[in-house]
Amino acid sequence: MLIRKMLRDLRANMSQFLAIFLMIFLGVFIYTGVNSEWNGMRVHAQKLYRETELADVWVYGTGFTKQDIKQIKELNEVTEVTRRAVIEATSTINKKQKLTLYLDESNTLSQPKRMQGESYSPDKDGIWLDQVFAKENHIRVGDSYSLQVNGFKITKPVKGLILHPELVYQNTAGNIIPDHKNNGYACISMNHFTDQYTIPYTQLLIKTKVPQKMEKLISDKLQKNNLVFMERKDLPSYSMLEDEITQHQAFGEVFPIVFLLIAVLTTLTTVSKMIMNQRLLIGILKALGFKNRKIIFHYFSHAMVIVILGAILGYLIGPLVVPTFIYPMMSAIYILPQLHAVPLDNSLYMVIGSISICFMTAFIVCYRHLKEKPADAFRSANISYKQSHHKPNSLIKRANFCAQWNIRDILRNKLRSLIAIIGVTGCMGLLICAFGMQDSMNHMINMMFHELQTYDMRVQIDETADLKVLKSKMNGNAIQESAVEMKFNSVKKTGSLTVQESTKYLKLQNQDLHTVSLPNNGIALSYKLAESFGLKAGDSISWRIIGSTAWTKSKINAILHTPSSQGITMSANSFIQSGHSFLPTSVVGKAADIKTLSGIKNIQYLKTDIESSMDQMLDGMMVMIAILIMGAVVLGIVVLYNIGSFSYLEKVRDLATLKVLGFHDHQVKKLLRQQNLWLTICGILLGLPFGYALIYTVISTVGDSLDVLIVIQPSTYIGCSLATLLVSALVMRIVSRKVKRINMVSALKIME
Amino acid sequence: MKTIVEFKRVCKTYGDKENLIYALRDVSFTICQGEFVVILGPSGAGKSTLLNLLGGMDDVSSGTICINNQQIEVLSETQLADYRAKQIGFVFQFYNLIPTLTAFENVALMKELKKDVLSAQEALERVGLKAHQHKFPAQLSGGEQQRVSIARAISKKPALLLCDEPTGALDSQTGMLVMKQLKDMCKRYGHTTIIVTHNSALKNTADKVIYVKNGMIENVVTQEHPCDIDAVNW
């Protein structure tokens, strides 16, 4: 019988219980959905790394001999070592298409994973192509493919399509989104590469349990001091994906908290309200002889049923739905052999934990209200309003009736008001986060492509190019780009080095976004690196170009804000002064017809090639923003509707009285609206810093390579505030519509 | 004396054509200015319907109602709200004070509805509750709450004071006090007062008694010399 009563109670308090349900559902949905999404990425990435024996340490040098390998193998800490050469090649058909060639000696570490065709083997002749590159360029297994390498033409049959475990994420200069049509990689066995000339093995791949010790051990063993070491955690492909996963993890942990908090608070108000309303009934049940335990369980079970239902649905549906939104966007950036959601092992415990919190809340409320004697329940059943002993202060006295009413109502229902404020704060915060992220991204793109980079065309050249002709044709500047290793207080980091002749096409800005000139001597360091080293302008840092032995110590003359790559920027003069020779790798300048010139490796157009790949990334971002906006609106509507109808139900008798006394509908509605407006404004004001904090949390997880400034336009603040007000006004319109339907006659007869 | 209430062949029905239920059938009566009227009848007789019609909270099915020279069955929702605000003072069985406002504020609330009102202070003084004016309803006894409710009603200087079982929730002693107050006000300040009750003990105190039964007026008795409230045997 009590179950039947429970079902009817649930129906009678539908909007409140629906709110609990939705909040629990959304909290668990986002939590398990996002967690299974990033966990799926991590599990599949790790599976790939394991299967393909991804190396733990990479050593770069000028040439490694068989003797070197033998010596390293003698080290107890090293389980496996192999060497390879990595060189750049260009498609003979389309010069824009660049391929990184991996020429392995053996296939023991960082093995290319076969996706189609034959497995890679160092004994077989042929070329194994990047599967995405092949797909983009319609190359099939069995076709023959020609490459231009160091002036030689090589043609090989395509034996298979592969995925290289070091290239889950392909970093192509200047682009965040990989351009798979023009950038790819290929594997060819060194044994079958070419007889025409020898290529030195420039890389060692090492498998070890102690990667951090390798630098000292190997340098000592080989007696070489020009080696550059990179651990797996610094491998761009690996670290980018890990950063991405960490970012999603943060997202999946921060956002559900808002919903779960609301769920707990809503449970608290709903259960206590229901019990308050049914005190007389509880007294009757007690008088009839029902045990306290049974009654407590009865009321507790209301919340229990709803919470469990919401949690189970969220737990089941989250992993099905969330990844389908995020994976398409992820697979545009990261290439994994397979990608599907894998629920986190401990997510069930977390879900149970959050359900338990709701349970505890419901239980405590039930217990507190139900432990009294039956007679007390009868006695107090007639007092539905808490007694108030505070003297009206002068502020309240001076306010008009509407304000008086609402101030008192808020003071008497602090918890309810708090929930409303938290709900609006959440709604506003999510909106600010969504649109602020968009603003920040737009700002970054605008800065990168309109303020910092002002060239039309970037031409990559080799040493055979005629720099003078090229520069005059393009009215351009030569730049040298390479990888650089930096050292300060025994902390080493790698980054990019950009040496430029002037700032004509590549402008520089500091962290305050003021244009700075290229320091004539010394170097300029990017902000993120300076921060991680703990360096400021005026300090000195040691650096060397990867592959060279000598360290150069330079004074940092400027700290730069560089959105997409972190490292050292310096003038050609300063570079030469510090004892290096300036060997340009690219020319940037105006668009010109230079196709006939020799020594050109690649041509990129800023507007069409680079910016469009950014836009693609932004499209992916829009999905995330849309999810946030949806979450915000649902949160706002559910909380405000719930709280609104709650306070309406509580006041219906008073409102009816006002109507009988002669108040017009619009005056009565104004009462409800005013309170709602106040709470909404409080929520909006709190939502501003909350939104900023959310963006800060999300952006601080983007990793070391990106330096995204948080930029929130004033229009975003205004727009989000207005949108929140609009949501609040709409909900209030729906709630206050009930005022018209108040039955004055019957409302006056209700006596609880 | 001026007629202030006039019911002419008023019918109030519920349900559809096949299942027509008459709450009021052909009700006609008049009430003059300043009269102290008791509408008496058993439960379900139609008393409350009568009061709701008087208060402009319900519409008639047929017939006309004229209050203070104004036909009210033709008024719109908004006009009815105005009518309630300007012409009618209500005293409810369960007081219906706003729990979040003090006694004083509950009465002062009427300033929002009408310009020409008694000050809250004066209204509370008239019901003898000046000392309790800053208490909240929950801090007052039932009788006191009902007196605040009366103060609220009279502060509007209403043409008509409608009381729905005003003593229904009170013990006999307190009820008597409240009735006495209502009658005193009626006589001293000339409010036309209509009391709806099922308590037949009150009938002797009224200038006019309207007996209602089965939705019809059974009898209307005008009493030249109504007795004092103190003389009523509850």
Return the higher-pLDDT residue of A379 and B106.
B106
Contact residues, chain A, for B109 at CB < 8 Å: 401, 661
Average the pLDDT over B186-209 and give the result: 89
pLDDT of residue A16: 76
Task: Write the CATH number for B160.
Answer: 3.40.50.300
Task: Please indicate, yes or no, if residue B98 is contained in any of the structural domains.
Answer: yes
Distance between CA atoms of residues A576 and A558, nearest Å:
18
Contact residues, chain B, for A405 at CB < 8 Å: 98, 100-101
For chain A, what is the total number of helices (H) and then of strands (E)? 20, 21
Q: Count how many domains chain B has.
A: 1
Nearest CA to A134 among A73, A86, A205, A183? A183
Return the higher-pLDDT residue of A396 and B6.
B6
Task: Please indicate, yes or no, if residue B21 is contained in any of the structural domains.
Answer: no
Overall pTM surpassing 0.80 (yes/no): no
Distance between CA atoms of residues A490 and A552, nearest Å:
15
pLDDT of residue B55: 87
pLDDT of residue A703: 66
Pairing of strands B21-32, A491-500: unpaired
Please list, in sequence order, all residues whose beta carbon lies within 8 angstroms of the beta carbon of residue A346, skipping any fewer than 6 positions away: none
Residues A639/A262, Cβ–Cβ less than 8 Å: yes
pLDDT of residue A198: 79
Whether residues B139 and A389 touch (CB distance < 8 A) is answered with: yes
Mean pLDDT for each consecutive 10-residue tract of chain A (752 residues)? 77 80 85 89 93 92 88 90 90 84 89 91 89 90 88 88 90 66 88 79 91 87 83 85 83 77 78 76 73 80 86 90 84 85 82 84 80 59 45 63 85 85 91 90 83 85 84 89 86 86 86 84 88 88 82 89 84 89 89 79 73 68 78 84 80 85 87 90 94 85 74 92 92 86 69 44
pLDDT of residue A457: 87
Cα-to-chain-centroid distance, residue A520: 38
Q: What angle do CA A283, A285, A287 make, to 5 degrees?
A: 65
Q: Which residues in chain A (326-385) have CB-CB distances under 8 A to chain B?
A: 383, 385
Q: With H, G, I as helix, E, B as strand and everything else as coil, classify residue A335.
A: coil
- The closest CB to that of B55, out of A385, A412, A660, belongs to A660
Is the sign of the CA dihedral A242, A246, A252, A255 positive or negative? negative
Distance between CA atoms of residues A429 and A94, nearest Å:
48
Please list, in sequence order, all residues whose beta carbon lies within 8 angstroms of the beta carbon of residue A158, skipping any fewer than 6 positions away: A117, A126, A127, A128, A129, A134, A139, A140, A141, A142, A143, A144, A145
The 10 Å Cβ neighbour count of residue A529 is: 24
pLDDT of residue A488: 87
Residues A570/A524, Cβ–Cβ less than 8 Å: yes
- Rounded to a whole number of angstroms, the distance between the first and last alpha carbons of chain B is 31
Whether residues A663 and B102 touch (CB distance < 8 A) is answered with: no
pLDDT of residue A81: 92
**Helix%, strand%, coil% for chain A, nearest 5:** 55, 20, 25
Whether A93 has its CB under 8 Å from any CB of chain B: the answer is no
> Residue A740: closest CA among chain B residues belongs to which residue?
B77
Whether A391 has its CB under 8 Å from any CB of chain B: the answer is yes
ipTM exceeding the 0.90 mark:
no
Please list, in sequence order, all residues whose beta carbon lies within 8 angstroms of the beta carbon of residue B44, skipping any fewer than 6 positions away: none
Mutation target for A interface from B96, B134, B156: give the one with most A CBs within 10 A. B96
Please list, in sequence order, all residues whose beta carbon lies within 8 angstroms of the beta carbon of residue A318, skipping any fewer than 6 positions away: A28, A29, A30, A31, A32, A33, A34, A36
pLDDT of residue A130: 92
Q: How many CB pairs under 8 A join A and B?
A: 90
Task: Please indicate, yes or no, if residue B149 is contained in any of the structural domains.
Answer: yes
Residues B40/B48, Cβ–Cβ less than 8 Å: no
Mutation target for B interface from A657, A659, A739, A744: give the one with most B CBs within 10 A. A657
Average the pLDDT over B135-161 and give the result: 89
Nearest CA to A598 among A209, A151, A204? A151
pLDDT of residue A752: 39
Backbone dihedral angles phi then psi of residue A511, each to the nearest 5 degrees: -65, -25
- The beta-carbon contacts of A369-372 under 8 Å, at least 24 apart in sequence, are A369/A272, A369/A275, A369/A276, A369/A279, A369/A282, A370/A275, A370/A282, A370/A292, A370/A295, A370/A296, A370/A299, A371/A292
3-state secondary structure string across chain B: CCEEEEEEEEEEEECCCCCCEEEEEEEEEEEECCCEEEEECCCCCCHHHHHHHHCCCCCCCEEEEEECCEECCCCCHHHHHHHHHHHEEEECCCCCCCCCCCHHHHHHHHHHCCCCCCCHHHHHHHCCCHHHCCCCHHHCCHHHHHHHHHHHHHHCCCCEEEEECCCCCCCHHHHHHHHHHHHHHHHHHCCEEEEEECCHHHHHHCCEEEEEECCEEEEEEECCCCCCHHHCCC
Nearest CA to A444 among A711, A713, A715? A711
CA distance, residue A726 to nearest chain B CA (Å): 27
Nearest CA to A632 among A365, A413, A435? A435
Distance between CA atoms of residues A212 and A163, nearest Å:
27
Domain edges within chain A:
1-53+239-384, 62-226, 399-446+608-752, 477-589
3-state secondary structure string across A633-686: HHHHHHHHHHHHHHHHHHHHHHHHHHHHHCCCHHHHHHHHHHHHHHHHHHHHHH
Find where tokens 């008023």 sit: B10
Whether residues A404 and B99 touch (CB distance < 8 A) is answered with: no
Task: Please indicate, yes or no, if residue B148 is contained in any of the structural domains.
Answer: yes
What residue numbers bound the domain in which B157 lies? 34-58+75-231
